[in-house]
């Protein structure tokens, strides 16, 4: 089925005039944004369709397709990136290959971020309680690109936002593929710092209990690894020890996007994640937002003395209800240049923990690299010796 808007034609975000928007009225009934991520072929698009069906009556989802390269989507999209950017044209005009075309198309879409946010806000006012966002087939196009960051963090500062990571259980039955998938999931979890739900997809083809077992029982995973004769086994074994703590932050749920099994349980997990966002994540994003606004105000040029004599200037409303004026300065990113505010003691403690985790990880990688280099040199020396004798 081609993309079609359920409410009077797919709306091009170009038709919205930002100047005419009333930003002061605030976001009433902000919809929950659910960003669907996962490896190519894991079933993101099929999952999105099934989630829409299951959430329709209760949450009336607003649907966004951000994959510029898909031929068609099996659901009715309210916003479709293909209506805004023609990725084949982008490839031609900028002489790019398919991947470059997709990344550039997403970058172009991101320049319309304020309009995108405004459309979602309006959807919330019209009674859409959820906004489901399907992402490009290749995961790295979204997770390792500037535009993916801007979209994710831009949404997270405005709306309750949750990440659903779709994982193919059939492919993950191989312990090393399972580990790759988990490393990817963990890197996204730590990068986005948003509530994170793993949808173990395709359980109609394979039962997912082995995933839950491997995540909770280290020995069971080791046993599975024993049966594999791959040179990466040692690394994977060590990794599995390190990943134990990451697993604690992951909620998993088995689903089949084709049959619909498991979706009622998934909806419950999603509602828990919304609460988690409100409780743990929203204050962080709110703080970042206020910090950025304060910096902007400091940098703003001084008022005309004539205006100043008329009274004292007051900052305009600084809450989650404000939509950004432009993408460059008003989307609040966890940038490398951002200085954290003084924190509460328990926050500081968790930051120290995070730093220690970072250091441990770097040390682990360093040790691994050194060990590999030493082994390599030793092997070379042995080979030279053998050649001499």
State the residues that interact with ligand GDP by CB under 6 A: 38, 40-46, 137, 201-202, 204-205, 256-258
8 Å CB contact between 263 and 50: yes
192 belongs to the binding site for Mg ion (CB under 5 A): no
Closest CA to 179 of 227, 255, 242: 242
- The site partner of 202 among ligand GDP, Mg ion, none (C-beta below 5 to 8 Å per kind) is ligand GDP
Other CB atoms within a 10 A radius of the CB of residue 213 amount to 12
240 belongs to the binding site for Mg ion (CB under 5 A): no
Residue 21 backbone zone (phi > 0: left; psi -120 to 50: alpha; other: beta): beta
- The site partner of 201 among ligand GDP, Mg ion, none (C-beta below 5 to 8 Å per kind) is ligand GDP
Min dist. Cβ of residue 137 to Mg ion (A)? 5
**Residue number of the CB atom closest to Mg ion:** 45
How far is the C-alpha of 66 from the C-alpha of 133, rounded, in Å? Answer: 7
Helix (H, G, I), strand (E, B) or coil at 164: strand
How far is the C-alpha of 389 from the C-alpha of 387, rounded, in Å? Answer: 6
Measured from the CB atom, the residue of 44 and 54 that comes closer to ligand GDP is 44
Specify the DSSP class assigned to residue 277: I
As given in the structure block, the two tokens for residue 252 are 């998993």
Distant-in-sequence, close-in-space partners of 235: CB < 8 Å, separation ≥ 6:
368
How far is the C-alpha of 154 from the C-alpha of 164, rounded, in Å? Answer: 17
Sheet holding 251-254, edge to edge: 79-80, 62-65, 130-134, 32-38, 161-168, 196-201, 251-254
Measured from the CB atom, the residue of 137 and 160 that comes closer to ligand GDP is 137
46 belongs to the binding site for Mg ion (CB under 5 A): no
Min dist. Cβ of residue 263 to ligand GDP (A)? 11
Closest CA to 77 of 2, 182, 163, 181: 2
Measured from the CB atom, the residue of 47 and 277 that comes closer to Mg ion is 47
Measured from the CB atom, the residue of 65 and 157 that comes closer to Mg ion is 65
- The site partner of 114 among Mg ion, ligand GDP, none (C-beta below 5 to 8 Å per kind) is none
Site for Mg ion in 68-107 (CB under 5 A): none
8 Å CB contact between 17 and 310: no
Measured from the CB atom, the residue of 36 and 91 that comes closer to Mg ion is 36
DSSP string spanning 9-66? SPPPGGG--GGG---TT--TTPPEEEEEEESTTSSHHHHHHHHHHHHHHHH--EEEE-
Measured from the CB atom, the residue of 138 and 149 that comes closer to ligand GDP is 138
Min dist. Cβ of residue 135 to ligand GDP (A)? 8
42 belongs to the binding site for Mg ion (CB under 5 A): no
Min dist. Cβ of residue 36 to Mg ion (A)? 9
Min dist. Cβ of residue 207 to Mg ion (A)? 24
Distant-in-sequence, close-in-space partners of 133: CB < 8 Å, separation ≥ 6:
33, 34, 35, 36, 64, 66, 155
Measured from the CB atom, the residue of 53 and 296 that comes closer to Mg ion is 53
- The site partner of 251 among Mg ion, ligand GDP, none (C-beta below 5 to 8 Å per kind) is none
135 belongs to the binding site for Mg ion (CB under 5 A): no
Min dist. Cβ of residue 266 to ligand GDP (A)? 12
Helix (H, G, I), strand (E, B) or coil at 168: strand
Measured from the CB atom, the residue of 138 and 327 that comes closer to Mg ion is 138
Min dist. Cβ of residue 258 to ligand GDP (A)? 4
- The site partner of 205 among ligand GDP, Mg ion, none (C-beta below 5 to 8 Å per kind) is ligand GDP
257 belongs to the binding site for Mg ion (CB under 5 A): no
Q: Which of 45, 104, 110, 181 binds Mg ion (CB under 5 A)?
A: 45
- The site partner of 257 among Mg ion, ligand GDP, none (C-beta below 5 to 8 Å per kind) is ligand GDP
Helix (H, G, I), strand (E, B) or coil at 197: strand
Measured from the CB atom, the residue of 47 and 62 that comes closer to Mg ion is 47
Could you list the residues that contact Mg ion (CB under 5 A)? 44-45, 137
């Amino acid at each position: 089925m081609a993309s079609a808007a359920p409410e009077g034609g797919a709306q091009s975000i170009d038709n919205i005039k930002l100047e005419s928007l009333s930003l002061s009225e605030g976001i009433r009934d902000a919809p929950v944004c659910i960003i669907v991520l996962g490896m190519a072929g894991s079933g993101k698009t099929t999952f999105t369709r099934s989630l829409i069906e299951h959430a329709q009556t209760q949450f009336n989802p607003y649907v966004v397709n951000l994959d510029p390269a898909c031929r068609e989507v099996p659901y009715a999209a309210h916003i479709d990136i293909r209506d805004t950017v023609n990725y084949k044209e982008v490839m031609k005009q900028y002489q790019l290959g398919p991947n470059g075309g997709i990344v550039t198309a997403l970058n172009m879409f991101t320049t319309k971020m304020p309009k995108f946010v405004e459309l979602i806000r309006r959807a919330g006012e019209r009674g859409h309680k959820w906004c489901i966002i399907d992402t490009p087939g290749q995961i790295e196009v979204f997770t390792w690109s500037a535009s993916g960051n801007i979209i994710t963090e831009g949404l997270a500062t405005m709306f309750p936002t949750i990440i659903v990571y779709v994982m193919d259980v059939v492919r993950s039955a191989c312990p090393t593929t399972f580990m790759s998938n988990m490393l990817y999931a963990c890197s996204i979890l730590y990068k986005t710092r948003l509530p994170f739900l793993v949808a173990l997809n395709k359980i109609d083809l394979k039962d997912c209990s082995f995933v839950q077992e491997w995540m909770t029982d280290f020995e069971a995973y080791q046993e599975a690894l024993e049966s594999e004769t791959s040179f990466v086994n040692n690394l994977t074994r060590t990794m599995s020890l390190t990943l134990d703590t990451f697993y604690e932050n992951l909620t998993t749920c088995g689903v089949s996007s084709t049959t619909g099994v498991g979706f009622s349980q998934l909806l419950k997990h999603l509602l828990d994640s919304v609460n988690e966002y409100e409780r743990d994540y929203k204050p962080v994003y709110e703080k970042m937002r206020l910090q950025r606004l304060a910096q902007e105000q400091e940098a703003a040029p001084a008022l005309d003395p004539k205006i100043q004599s008329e009274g004292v200037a007051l900052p305009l409303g600084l809450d989650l209800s404000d939509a950004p004026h432009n993408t460059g300065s008003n989307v609040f990113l966890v940038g490398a240049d951002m200085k954290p505010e003084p924190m509460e003691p328990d926050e500081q403690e968790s930051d120290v923990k995070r730093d220690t985790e970072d250091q441990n990880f770097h040390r682990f990688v360093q040790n691994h690299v050194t060990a590999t280099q030493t082994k390599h040199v030793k092997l070379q020396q042995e080979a030279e010796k053998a050649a001499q004798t």
